[in-house]
Structure 1
Amino acid sequence: MSDDTDRFEAVYRATYDQITAYAGRRCDSPQDAADVVAETFTIIWRKIDQLPAGAEARLWVYGVARNVLADHRRSALRHRARHRELNAEMADLYGDPADHNVELAAIAQVFRTLSDDDREVLSLVAWEGLDRHEIATMLGLSRNAVRIRLHRARKRFSRALVQAGVRFTPGNAVVPAGRPL
């Protein structure tokens, strides 16, 4: 085997589960996540000569996956725009989610209104468990820039929740507007 093949196989084994989870949490379906993962590793194979050594490799792979996911989202947005009317008709037919899902639906709705950058930095902390240094390396930013972005993203998310009428009980449970605490 060649050195490139060995490097690819090593990074694949080391990051496949993490990248699959990363894509799975950000895609609407398992099929979309599988497409993102496959495209990510295809690009890594094509750009194997750019793969950094050591711990940097994992973060570089996350960066590739992030770019693939961004392309996937742009494609999905174009698709949704073409089918917006059909989606509205389906929503009229099937109505709103059951009351027990209202809290999660409200948070998800507000989260989707955030900018891509805000969603990404919040997701990297909450879902991927990356620290500021790892995020900085992945995004090619300073740790201070990541700290500022994270602080501002949290503030914007909090304000958006308040504007949407989502409130928190003293025990940090989420309560939509119109419901008693």
Structure 2
Amino acid sequence: MISMSNDSGTVFPYRNPAKKDADIVRLARAAGAIPIAVTNTPQHCMNWETYNNVTGLTMNPYDQKRTTGGSSGGESALISSAASLMGVGSDIAGSLRLPPMFNGIFGHKPTPKLLSIEGHVPDCLDPTFEEYFALGPITRYSEDIPLLLKVLKQPGRYKQVKILLDGRGWK
């Protein structure tokens, strides 16, 4: 495992690289994925723009006068600019949906608890956190969302993931 950034856009007097993979990263690696980056987020992943005092501002790759959105704006900009086909982001109030929309790609906030949030930074001790917070896929092509969801879903959680595909029925 390569240690990747774990500071959530927060300035610390020391570096705190990840000591182990988050659950969804572990599942992605097991399926053959090769993680290439931890992308920019606003501080603590809590803003409509992707700016922090560690790495600065992320802008829309197609128009530098426009925002990439937040908080999954760094991941959306990377995928939108064809540096990667797919990735993951987090969502409380639109962060898996708005940045992809602003960048012309696809994001999906799955059913709460379908994907494990274990290992996400920042975390929260509120017992209801998983009722409104979710991790999910961001992809360049819409047809890759079901593929990535199947790879990332928690083992034993929902025996079958049903996804409506272009009005052709459930798969």
| TM above 0.5 | no
Task: Give the structure-1-normalised TM-score.
Answer: 0.28
Task: Give the structure-2-normalised TM-score.
Answer: 0.29
Q: Which has the larger helix fraction?
A: 1
Instruction: Please say which structure displays the higher CA radius of gyration.
Output: 1
Q: Which has the larger strand fraction?
A: 2
